[in-house]
Structure 1
Amino acid sequence: MKIKKVTISRENLELTRPYTIAYDTFTHAENLFVLLETDTGLVGIGAGSPAEDVTNESIDACEKVLKEQACLLFEGLDLVDAVSRLKTMETKMAATPAAMAAMDIALYDLMGKALDRPLVEILGRVHTAMPTSITIGIKSLDEMLAEADEYTGRGFRILKIKIGMDVDQDIERVCRLRVHISKDVRIRVDANQGYDMDQYKKFLAGTSEANLEFVEQPLHVDQTASMAGLSEDERNFSMADECLHNPADAYALLHPPRPFGSFNIKLMKCGGIALGLEIAQIARRCGIGVMWGCMDESRVSIAAALHAAFASPATRYLDLDGSLDLARDMVDEGFVIENGVMRLTDRSGIGVRILH
Structure 2
Amino acid sequence: MKITKVEIIRENLELTRPYTIAFKTISDVENVFLVLELADGTRGIGCSAPSPGVTGESVEDSLRVLKEIAEPALHGATIQTFPAILASLRPLMLKQPAALAAVDVALHDAFTRHLGVRLVDWWGLQYKKLPTSITIGILSVEETLEQAREHMATGFRVIKLKTGRSVAEDVEVFTKLRATVGPDIAIRIDANQGYTPQDLIDFSKATQHLAVEFYEQPFPAGHDRGKVQAGDTLCGPAAQLTLPPDLRKLCAADEDLHNANDALMLATEGQPYGIFNIKLMKCGGVAEARRIAFVAERVGIELMWGCNDESIVSITAALHAALASNATRYLDLDGSLDLARDLVTGGFVLKDGYLHAGSGLGLGCDLI
- TM-score class, shorter-chain normalisation, is over 0.9
Q: What residue in structure 2 maps to residue 211 of structure 1?
A: 211
Q: CA deviation at 1:199?
A: 1.2
Q: Hey, which bits of structure 1, 4+ residues long, moved more than 6 A?
A: none
What amino acid is the match of 1:281?
Answer: F
- Counterpart code for 2:38: T
The structure 2 residue matched to 1:225, chosen from 218, 224, 227, is 227
Q: CA deviation at 1:221?
A: 1.0
SS in 1 for 2:7: strand
Identity of aligned residues (%): 47
1:40 aligns with 40
CA–CA distance in 2 between the matches of 1:81 and 1:342? 31
2:150 is the counterpart of 1:145: no
Amino acid at match of 2:102: A
2:365 to 348, 352, 355: 352
Residues 1:338 and 2:351 are matched in the alignment: yes
Structure 2 residue aligned with 1:195: 195
Q: Are 1:277 and 2:290 counterparts?
A: yes
Alignment of 1:258-273 (within 5 A): 258-273=271-286
8 Å CA contact 1:46–1:102 kept in 2: the answer is yes
SS at match of 2:149: helix
Q: Which residue of 2 aligns with 1:307?
A: 320
Q: Distance in 2 between matches of 1:83 and 1:260?
A: 30
Residue 222 of structure 1 deviates from its aligned partner by 2.4
Residue aligning to 1:15: 15
**SS class of match (2:147):** helix
Distance in 1, Cα, partners of 2:271 & 2:83: 35
Answer yes or no: is the 8 Å Cα contact 1:17–1:27 preserved in 2. Answer: yes
Which position in structure 2 is the counterpart of 1:73?
73
What is the rounded CA distance, in whole Å, between the counterparts of 2:35 and 2:187 in structure 1? 38
Q: Deviations over 1:144-200 (max 9, x none)?
A: 000000000111000000012321111111111111112211101101100112111
Distance 2:102 2:8 in 1: 10
CA–CA distance in structure 1, aligned partners of residues 200 and 44 of structure 2? 44
Matched residue, 2:136 = 136
1:252: how far off? 1.3
Are the aligned partners of 1:197 and 1:226 in contact in 2 as well (CA < 8 Å)? Answer: no
Q: Which residue of 2 aligns with 1:159?
A: 159
Residue 112 (structure 1) shift: 1.2
Contact 2:12 2:29 in 1 (8 A): yes
Tell me if structure 1 keeps the 8 A contact 2:22–2:162: yes
Q: CA deviation at 1:34?
A: 0.2
Report the more deviating stretch, 196-205 or 283-292.
Answer: 196-205
TM-superposed deviation, 1:103: 0.3
- Rounded to whole Å, the distance in 1 between the matches of 2:319 and 2:178 is 28
Three-state SS of the structure 2 residue aligned to 1:16 is: coil
CA contact (8 A) 1:145 1:180 kept: yes
Secondary structure of 1:282's aligned partner: helix
TM-score normalised by the chain length of structure 2: 0.95
1:328 matched to 2:341? The reply is: yes
What secondary structure does 1:71 align onto? helix
Report the 3-state secondary structure (helix = DSSP H, G, I; strand = E; otherwise coil) of the residue aligned with 1:188.
strand
Aligned length: 355
Give the distance between the partners of 2:32 and 2:91, measured in 1 at CA.
20
Kept in 1, the 8 Å contact 2:164–2:170? The answer is yes
Query: Within the alignment, does 1:291 sit opposite 2:293 as a pair?
Result: no
Contact kept in structure 2, 1:6 and 1:70, CA below 8 Å: no
Shift of the alpha carbon at 1:36? 0.6
1:226 Cα deviation after fit = 4.0
One-letter amino acid of the counterpart of residue 352, structure 2: N
The aligned residue for residue 26 of structure 1 is 26
- Name the SS for the 2:212 alignment partner: coil
- 3-state SS in 2 of match to 1:14: coil
Q: Distance in 2 between matches of 1:119 and 1:202?
A: 44
Flag structure 2 segments of 5+ consecutive residues without an equivalent: 233-241
Letter aligned with residue 244 of structure 2: S
Aligned partner letter, 2:191: A
Alpha-carbon separation, structure 2, partners of 1:72 and 1:11: 22
Residue 184 of structure 2 corresponds to residue 184 of structure 1: yes
Match of 2:247 among 234, 237, 245: 234
The answer on whether the counterparts of 2:195 and 2:218 sit within 8 Å (CA) in structure 1 is yes
